[in-house]
Structure 1
Amino acid sequence: MRANWPIGPVCDACYQRRKRQPRPCVRCNVVRVLVGSSDDQNGELCGPCCGVDIDFACNRCGFPGDTYADGACTRCIVADRVQDLLSRDDGTIAAALRPLADGLIALDPPITLLRWLSQSRGPKILARLASQSAEITHRSLDILPQDRTTRHVREMLVATGILPPRNENLARLELWLHHMLEQLPDQHRASIAPFAEWGIVRDARRRAARGRYTTRAATADRADIRTAAKFLAWLDNNQLDLAGVSQAHVDHWLTTHPTLHRSAGAFLRWTTLRRLTGVITVPARRPGLPSRFLSEQQHHQQLKRCLNDETLPLAVRIAGTLTGLYALPISWLAELTIERFHRDTGSAYLTIGDNPVLLPPRLAELIERQIERAVSIPSLRPPDGSAPAFLLPGRPPTRPISEGQLQASMRRHGLAIITARNTAMLEAVADLPPIVVSDLFGISPRTAYRWAQYAQVSWTDYLAATPD
């Protein structure tokens, strides 16, 4: 017997039946948890029709088969805990937080919210915001540690209309810059602050206004600012200052810091234009030619595994296939939205760049399965549908999966990334003219032509056959 139920002791058989989905009773036709069988009607019966006082229905709303605590269903318990979480001292929820309360209570399935309330640090942040008398703004969250929990709470407030939407990549850059400048010596801050504000952040604001400031762009901007700070520290260690920097010093720096070549160039070009240094040139480094590839057999084996191996995570299978077929970079896959996939007269297409590309039927099936999974993830979304629906959602699901997380997942399951992409690109330029590869894969014509040159593929015949 199990005596820990609010309705009293029940036998193991009834306990297992309680887990079943509610269905109509064959005798009273009421949707309940069925606990007995009917020989004459060839079906199952609810507790009252079996002659026992066992109903398994919520004692508040009457919802069947979801008793969670005190005889109430999960939904009613969620409503109680949300009320306690967001209430002020007088027991009422502020009007500004009512959309959030309604959205949390309506999340389906409600058990996911109960787990979040008991396991996450987010409810403490919401309780602190609910208890304050001041208006809730982005600044209220900006003063907190900017970790995943804070970002999740912010997404919830934006989705319910309590906070206005903003470009989070730009906002995080500005917050990071503020804390970073506080840690610099005064003499370095005098140079880094104007460079960061006028050389980096101003351009980031322009791109954000056009809706094109991505996570990858923000990462590159932070790298430029960090490199500038490293360069000034190097000058201090060598008893130099900006005014005394020569081309020889810069060349030495670039030689000893080859991975910071691009980032150092951004800062040194800025100092040259402002006449903080003499005329300094940072030659552009042409990207090296690819040197790592998969053999034809390895390439086909990886594609076959991604398409058919059910033990791999669905997101990994899709990413591995798109990388191996269309040479798509991880940065593009991470922010791929559901709206780019569509069917037309039975065929499935994925829009890469500006052009829809025909997908193999097996890959289309995987993407459709992932779409069903992505849209079923419980999350608060703006009612106007303004938030993009990502094919590979992150946490919260209103944000895309991070590039690092996707790369780590693919490597953990033994899937090549760079070599698979290089092989796919090489096979494409071997069969198609560069301009077609450019349109098909969404890359620049110059990049496609460089690949064609590398593969020693001539497309003179294609140009000769093209009408004027």
Structure 2
Amino acid sequence: MSRPRKPEDPIRWPVPCARCSQHHQTVARWPDGGICGYCYQQAKRTKGTCACGHEGVLPGLIDEQPACRQCSGVRLNIDCEACGAEDELHSGGRCWSCVLATVVDDLLTDPSRGIVAPELIPLATALKSMKRANSGITWIQQKHVTAFLRNLAVAPKITHDSFDELPDSRTREYVRGLLTEHGVLPRRDELRIRYENWSAQALDRVNNPENRDIIRRYIRWHHLRRMNQMDEVTRGTFLRAKQQVTVAIDLLNWLTGHGTNLAGLTQTHLDLWQAEGPTTRRIAEHFLKWAIKAKAAPAGLAIIPHRRGTSAKLDKTGQDEALNRVLHAGGQVEARDQAAAILILVFGQQAENIARLTWDDVAVTEELVTIQLGTIQIALPDPLDAPWRELAANPGHNLTASHPNTNWVFRGTSPGRHIHPGHLTTRLSKLFSTRAARLGTLHELTKLAPVAIIAETLGYSPTTIERHAVDSSAAYAQYMAAVRRSPTGR
């Protein structure tokens, strides 16, 4: 990434740069004139094919087109003494890539053996082959990263269990992700592991030993059993499980404070507890149903359920305006954000499902862009296809070692993982409310097509779409139309 430019200073630097026309310090004089430091750095990093056929760094300009040193007459030292390639030099006449390779080998070499452990060779190779070597050096030279890699080099074994024994940190998880992505560690369901660790700590918040055993059973036989049946735990499942256990602990601690337990729970207790706290206490209905079924709580108890259909919805006019802003942002919105926004505003997709899309779900040809959300391939007409074409050509996050062979459409910053749905909604929240837009879209779609078709096309359950249909009065309108068509009118 280029350095942010300081404000220009015409008084101190009266002669403007020949390329950007701004008043900054001149650091070189080339055939096209005096060049400021910012344009000098940009020139060293400009790569491509010159009109003469030369491939490499193109620091010069001929008729506003980048050109090689020989054609443009630019004098610039960009020949690496180590590998001989044309590239921006770091130090000692070596390019950034060669310096990065030296740093990686130094950190991952076991001093006692003088070699890199065989299991770390894939990681070393991946780090040394980063397309943006300067980013790799910047990351590795952070003190905590340097220390972590040195300790990794002398570790007696490298397993998930040995990583779990280390202090929790972003560096630990990032390196774990790199080792997994490059085949050193096997893949595992990280959200399930995170939930197991979280739930073990959550038990410490239960005041009564008897209640602690109930929560332990609830976690093991309800939430973990469901997670173990899934191919991969989703973010939504992970967050809901945490929230339901948290509210259940709150209820049991409240009962302890009021001199009773779950077996002695009455409807009066429930009503009082619910009235004293926030609306999120309604989530305890999930725990209560489990407790009654497990015969840990008396039958016949009930919690006022969450009322559906009360969330704000973006109306049709608002949806059209938001889509227009997204499609005509003039380069101010990244193609990735535009593509995701289209799926929300036009097809009512959830951020979690968008984040999990792979290129197996998307087909981009010269004639057509299609995407599979449910069981049917949906064609994206112009101009909805443009952001997807750009995203396919430049998927991003391909300059580091994090995504060597990823198939995710929306790549994340963590190695081998898709974008975090929360991060995606945060980015889009600058344009519109993703929740209101999604609910508004589903509200409108149920007016246009039968529930079964919408559910099959968009990948929703029929029950979910039916709720939206009822809310939009579509189901009632269809009923009235059927009555009018009936010969008896009944």
Task: Name the residue aligned to 2:441.
Answer: 424
Q: What aligned pairs does 1:16-415 form with structure 2 within 5 A after superposition?
A: 16=40, 18-21=44-47, 46=70, 55-90=77-112, 91-119=114-142, 121-133=144-156, 135-185=157-207, 187=209, 188-207=211-230, 211-257=231-277, 259-261=279-281, 263-282=283-302, 285=305, 287-290=307-310, 292-310=312-330, 311-343=332-364, 346-375=367-396, 377-380=398-401, 385=405, 387=406, 389-396=407-414, 398-411=416-429, 413-415=430-432
Are the structure 2 counterparts of residues 184 and 110 from structure 1 closer, same or farther at C-alpha, using a change threshold of 3 Å?
same
Q: Distance in 1 between matches of 2:131 and 2:74?
A: 33
Cα-to-partner distance string for 1:402-428 (whole Å, 9 max, x where unaligned)? 2222222222x2413233223222221
Deviation at 1:137, TM superposition (A): 1.0
Deviation at 1:430, TM superposition (A): 1.6
Deviation at 1:172, TM superposition (A): 0.9
Task: Name the residue aligned to 2:18.
Answer: none
Deviation at 1:215, TM superposition (A): 1.4
Deviation at 1:304, TM superposition (A): 0.5
Paired residue secondary structure (1:362): coil
Q: Distance in 2 between matches of 1:312 and 1:36?
A: 31
Per mean C-alpha deviation after superposition, the further-off stretch among 86-95 and 449-458 is 449-458
Are the structure 2 counterparts of residues 131 and 180 from structure 1 closer, same or farther at C-alpha, using a change threshold of 3 Å?
farther
Aligned residues: CA RMSD: 3.4
Paired residue secondary structure (1:406): helix
* Structure with higher helix content: 1
Paired residue secondary structure (1:363): coil
Unpaired runs of 5+ in structure 1?
1-9
Aligned residues: 440
Paired residue secondary structure (2:301): coil
Deviation at 1:182, TM superposition (A): 4.1
Q: Distance in 2 between matches of 1:316 and 1:201?
A: 34
Q: Distance in 2 between matches of 1:281 and 1:237?
A: 20
What TM-score, normalized by structure 2, do the two folds share? 0.79
**Contact 2:145/2:171 (8 A) holds in 1:** yes
Paired residue secondary structure (1:107): coil
Deviation at 1:11, TM superposition (A): 6.8
Task: Name the residue aligned to 1:450.
Answer: 467
Are the structure 2 counterparts of residues 343 and 414 from structure 1 closer, same or farther at C-alpha, using a change threshold of 3 Å?
closer
Deviation at 1:348, TM superposition (A): 1.4
Q: Distance in 1 between matches of 2:306 and 2:27?
A: 74
**Contact 2:266/2:301 (8 A) holds in 1:** no
**Contact 2:402/2:413 (8 A) holds in 1:** no
Unpaired runs of 5+ in structure 2?
1-25, 31-36, 486-490
**Contact 1:306/1:318 (8 A) holds in 2:** no
Are the structure 2 counterparts of residues 360 and 287 from structure 1 closer, same or farther at C-alpha, using a change threshold of 3 Å?
farther
Deviation at 1:170, TM superposition (A): 0.6
Per mean C-alpha deviation after superposition, the further-off stretch among 231-240 and 299-308 is 231-240
**Contact 1:289/1:454 (8 A) holds in 2:** yes
Cα-to-partner distance string for 1:127-151 (whole Å, 9 max, x where unaligned)? 2222222x11112222344444332
**Contact 2:285/2:305 (8 A) holds in 1:** no
**Contact 2:274/2:281 (8 A) holds in 1:** yes
Are the structure 2 counterparts of residues 45 and 107 from structure 1 closer, same or farther at C-alpha, using a change threshold of 3 Å?
closer
**Contact 1:390/1:400 (8 A) holds in 2:** yes
Give the residue type in structure 2 aligned to 1:393. R
**Contact 1:104/1:380 (8 A) holds in 2:** yes
**Contact 1:328/1:421 (8 A) holds in 2:** yes
Q: Distance in 2 between matches of 1:362 and 1:25?
A: 34
**Contact 2:177/2:415 (8 A) holds in 1:** no
Identity, % of aligned pairs? 23
Cα-to-partner distance string for 1:232-272 (whole Å, 9 max, x where unaligned)? 21112212222321232123333444633564123223333
Q: Distance in 2 between matches of 1:34 and 1:56?
A: 10
Cα-to-partner distance string for 1:442-463 (whole Å, 9 max, x where unaligned)? 2222332332333233346799
Q: Distance in 1 between matches of 2:307 and 2:244?
A: 18
Deviation at 1:277, TM superposition (A): 2.7
